[in-house]
Amino acid sequence: MEPFALTNESFLTIENWMKAYSGLVAGMSTKLGGKSKGSFESLNLGFHVADHGEDVFHNRETLADLLEFPLASWVGAEQIHDVHIRKVTKADRGKGSDAYDHAFKATDGFYTNEEGILLTLCFADCIPLFFLAPKARMIGTAHAGWKGTVGQIGKQMVDAWINEGIKPEEILVAIGPSICEKCYIVDDRVINLVENILEDVDRKPYNQIRDGQYSLDLKLLNKLVLLKAGVLDENIIMTQYCSSCDHELFFSHRRDNGSTGRMLSFIGWKEI
């Protein structure tokens, strides 16, 4: 069963999580229902691409209204395809929400156990990871492109939560809309790095399609990283949506040759 439900043309939600845990908002935006034009049409939420800033701000306000989660409560990041994650608090609200220049620098993941903060990251093919530890009320999101994935950003989040007193078996993870293995072709350099982190794993998340080229299942690779980190198989849910195949819904950096907008992952507890 697909865990991401198209709640509105402008976003999908992790339906089962939101039904089970009152006050939780979690999901992913689409590219529909915004003001941006051209290659950014229409709900581009990334300030760092060459879109008009006022259109991006309008689009973010639109999503904030739809989610009933004010823009002033969002946090955003300057993502650099690394594995640095940051715990945020209410004092951080608004950083990176309405402009790129005050976003958290060199950050590819957020987590918090406080209400009233919406954790957001931008995507256009990379893997959005969503984390939830219900008993501890801890939530998180991470940006896992191939660099973040082979750097094991998923494990970094699990380890950070272990230091917070949370056991890996208490952590739920959702792997969100992103590029599928058919659309994601990489070379030997990437596969060598993949093999380095999967030495004791029988199931390989890639297939050779021609000399020096491989199709790589980044979603499965992230799942394998999470399993090795101690997250239970039954606690990991994975979307079937592909940011490249499902062109009517999503921006795709690869499909659109780099000139495209960005979707947003989001997770937060509403203040009750």
Tens digits of residue pLDDT in 132-155? 999 999 999 999 999 999 999 999
Dihedral of the alpha carbons of 141, 27, 218, 59, in degrees to the nearest 10:
-90
Taking the mean position of all CA atoms in its chain, how far away is CA 104?
A: 16
**Is residue 162's pLDDT more than 80?**
yes
Cα Rg of the chain, angstroms: 17
pLDDT grade for 203, boundaries at 50, 70 and 90: confident
Give me the amino acid identity at 140: G
Structure tokens at 156: 């970094």
With contact defined as beta carbons under 8 Å apart, do 1 and 21 qualify?
no
- Rounded CA-CA distance 161/112 in Å is 10
Mean pLDDT throughout 157-172?
98
- pLDDT digit string, tens, across residues 23-60: 999 999 999 999 999 999 999 999 999 899 999 999 99
- Rounded CA-CA distance 55/192 in Å is 41
Mean pLDDT throughout 75-99?
97
Mean pLDDT across the chain:
97
E strand segments, the chain: 4-8, 11-14, 24-29, 74-75, 85-87, 109-112, 118-123, 127-133, 138-144, 172-175, 185-187, 206-210, 213-216, 236-238, 263-269
Query: Global pTM?
Result: 0.98
Q: Is 156 helix (H, G, I), strand (E, B) or coil?
A: helix
Specify whether domain 4-177+236-269 bears CATH 3.40.50.300.
no
- Measured from the Cβ of residue 196, the count of other Cβ atoms closer than 10 Å reads 9
Q: Which residues contact 147 (CB under 8 A, 6 or more apart)?
A: 81, 82
Taking the mean position of all CA atoms in its chain, how far away is CA 121?
A: 6
